[in-house]
Chain A
Amino acid sequence: MRRILSLILAVMLVALCFASCGSTDSNAEAGSVFYLNFKPEQDEQWQALAKKYQEATGIKTTVVTAAEGTYESTLTAEMDKSDPPTLFQVNGPVGLANWQDYCYDLSKSDVYKELKSDDFALKGANGEVYGVAYVIETYGIIYNKTILQKYFDAEWSTIKSIDKLNNFDALSTVVSEIQAHKSDLGVDGAFTSAGMDSSSDWRFKTHLANMAIYYEYLADGIGKTDAIKGTYLENYKKIWDLYINYATCKPTDLASKTGTDAETEFKSGKAVFYQNGTWAYGSAAYDEATGLGLKDDEFGMLPIYMGVEGEENLGLCTGSENYWCVNAKADEADIKATLDFLKWVVTDDAGTSALANDMGFVIPFKNAKEASNPLVKIANDYVTAGKTSVSWNFPTIPSEDWKNGVGAALTQYAAGTGSWDDVKLAFVDGWAREYKKANG
């Protein structure tokens, strides 16, 4: 008897373990929403929005945010669990290739129909809609209008107005003059530090690299490639040289500089130029508590000039690498709940104003509210003025390792321990190699 009793007890103990791990919530019929969010900077706002939705509809809505730089591994782990995310995101065609089996065809969904244009949909080979872009972002060289005006007004300056600052040579002149007279302007350098720590290196290994990729695609009339030629690498070098040599710190210090370093330098008026995008507004805007930051009318943004012919007509870099995908392998009810949630987010007043005002997003949906972000307004002005926007081609970069290679090569070049040839190797040979790895 006792033996049986002990066995039963033991089994119960184990069963208890399992039960506590795998307890599922009720309300299975109505389905639930589980969003694995990519953007840590908007985590709070998504949580608030999810709560609002849950209160309004009673549908269980969970938002989990992956830590910076760990989205892919978090997604892989979460997808394996018994309650996988019903809503996740991919960064474009390369990301889609990894997750296509998990992407629900959205072509009949309301969220797709709400899109302003088909350009914002991520499509499969047979016209399936696998992803829907939910935020359109723009980057370029953000500048501090107040300090730049001081430069224009100075006796010693060559360039006297922002209209004249419309190509690489002009930028180069401005930057070198600011650097030479940095104490007159009260700055530490023309550019913020181009930090190559992982919190900041994506600005250069991905966003700046996009310029070289964009021009090459444009010249060759293609939208993706299995082997890049690096036609515009010399231009990439030109602008990179400017970033590292006319900055708040020595090029040898860049290896350990962080994103926060650059942000702080820009906020405290220690630098004039700062390569970043519309998403940086929140952290660079004036903050009464610290007294640092720029007022809304002090923000300006320049295209990234790198000495390519005709760049007087260049606009900012606008695109998306954030596509919503609905998990095709989730329960039917959960898929439906998720589609309803998405519809609510992009059509309901609560949703659209949260996206526009709280998160500062420009969303490509019909009911979009105008964002209050001044950088977004600047981006719109460029489009209105008829400037050519640079598309985001970096989602076609074959792998994360390609970016890491280019990043390391740029760092080593800046520090003088490597040469520009390393960047070439990482850029051109690395592309072919990584493409083969990712597709072979």
Chain B
Amino acid sequence: MKDRKRIKRLNPLRAYFPIFVLPTLAAFIIGFLYPFIRGIYLSFCTFRTTSDAKWVGLDNYIKAFNDEGFFHAFWYTALFTLVSVIVINVFAFMVAYVLTRGIRGSNTFRTVFFMPNLIGGIVLGYIWQMIFDGILRNYGTSIVLDSRFGFWGLIILMAWQQIGYMMIIYIAGLQSVPEELNEAAKIDGANGWQVLKHITIPTVMPSITICTFLTLTNSFKLFDQNLALTNGAPIAFTAEGAIKQTEMIALNIYNTFYTNANWRGVGQAKAVLFFILVAAIALIQLRFTRKREVQQ
């Protein structure tokens, strides 16, 4: 009975705390925390199956750092990310801006632009491979034969898929710009460009933060589209090694893990390095754009 008294004093949310949090917590531990810690442990091991690992220390990390293909994949991914973040955000903002001007059929356009997002990455990759090859075949080449085609092909694919999604976020941001601010600026004699620069962009800064964050991490972690579109082809051959020209980091890790059973630990080590990298970039980026947000 003593218990009951104590509970009465607690707020009901706290009384039911375990019931709400436990399932999610369990799922989080099973689905994320445990695999994550296990993954870090495995990066120091040599193994065939994950339940049967042998400790080897830093060996895997040394091999990973000596892998030329990994570095190529890193720079390729960095370049891809840079270009795709700019392209996707600029176009998404433009589309959102146009579609909030109150032109007729805005809703239809929004739906159409959003649709590509509903298709899975592998399917998209194969479809676009057919489209690109259909065009390139007329010129006696293919997307898997020239790394420039592979690069720009992937940019086009990702832009096509992601612009619609980012557009929705930008539209939400643009619609929350207070009408009074716009009006006041116009009365003060600001032209369209000035309104955009001094009123609209600063107020939609939270949307810009979210969108750059999403496109940045999406591009960095890109896997399925890369796998389906070119799978790393073409390969450049030198006496030192064979470098897959359009292989991004995630695909490089996957290939390291599966094409050579002796290198599974190395793949795991690369994955840990990759996590640190993505986390660091995302944190820096978040801090950077946060500073520019305007509190309303």
Give the total of A residues in contact with B, Cβ under 8 Å. Answer: 51
Asked if A426 meets B140 with Cβ closer than 8 Å, knowing A2-B15, A3-B3, the reply is: no
Residue A58, interface by CB 8 Å: no
Query: Do residues A98 and B48 form an inter-chain contact, with CB atoms below 8 A?
Result: yes
- Residues from chain A with Cβ under 8 Å of B141 in the complex: 252, 415, 417
Query: Do residues B4 and A1 form an inter-chain contact, with CB atoms below 8 A?
Result: yes
Give a binary string over B250-267; 1 marks a CB under 8 Å from any A CB, 0 the rest: 000001001111110000
Residue B9, interface by CB 8 Å: no
Residue A223, interface by CB 8 Å: no
Ranked 10 nearest A-B pairs via Cβ? A255-B142, A10-B22, A98-B261, A425-B237, A252-B140, A408-B235, A400-B259, A422-B237, A6-B19, A401-B259
Query: Do residues B242 and A425 form an inter-chain contact, with CB atoms below 8 A?
Result: yes
Query: Do residues B49 and A14 form an inter-chain contact, with CB atoms below 8 A?
Result: no
Query: Do residues B48 and A3 form an inter-chain contact, with CB atoms below 8 A?
Result: no
Closest to A434 in B: B260
Residue A418, interface by CB 8 Å: yes
Give a binary string over B26-66; 1 marks a CB under 8 Å from any A CB, 0 the rest: 10000000000000000000001111100000000000000
C-alpha spacing A297/B215, complex, angstroms: 59
Tell me which residues from 47 to 106 in chain B have a Cβ below 8 Å from any Cβ of chain A: 48-52
- Chain B positions within 8 Å of A, measured between CB atoms, are 3-4, 7, 15-16, 18-19, 22-23, 26, 48-52, 129, 133, 137, 140-142, 144-146, 231, 233-235, 237-239, 241-242, 255, 258-263
Query: Do residues A425 and B239 form an inter-chain contact, with CB atoms below 8 A?
Result: yes
- Residues from chain A with Cβ under 8 Å of B49 in the complex: 76, 79-80
Query: Do residues B133 and A256 form an inter-chain contact, with CB atoms below 8 A?
Result: yes
- Residues from chain B with Cβ under 8 Å of A3 in the complex: 3, 7, 15, 18
The number of inter-chain residue pairs (CB within 8 angstroms) is 125
Q: Give the one of B4, B7, B141, B144 with max A CB within 10 A.
A: B144
Residue A73, interface by CB 8 Å: yes
Query: Do residues B50 and A80 form an inter-chain contact, with CB atoms below 8 A?
Result: yes
Residue A430, interface by CB 8 Å: yes
Query: Do residues A72 and B50 form an inter-chain contact, with CB atoms below 8 A?
Result: no
Residue A43, interface by CB 8 Å: no
Tell me which residues from 386 to 440 in chain A have a Cβ below 8 Å from any Cβ of chain B: 399-401, 404-405, 408-409, 411-412, 415, 417-418, 421-422, 425-426, 429-430, 433-434, 437-440
Asked if A399 meets B233 with Cβ closer than 8 Å, knowing A17-B26, A255-B145, A426-B242, the reply is: no
Query: Do residues B260 and A400 form an inter-chain contact, with CB atoms below 8 A?
Result: yes
The smallest C-beta distance from B131 to any residue of chain A, in angstroms, reads 11
Query: Do residues A256 and B140 form an inter-chain contact, with CB atoms below 8 A?
Result: no
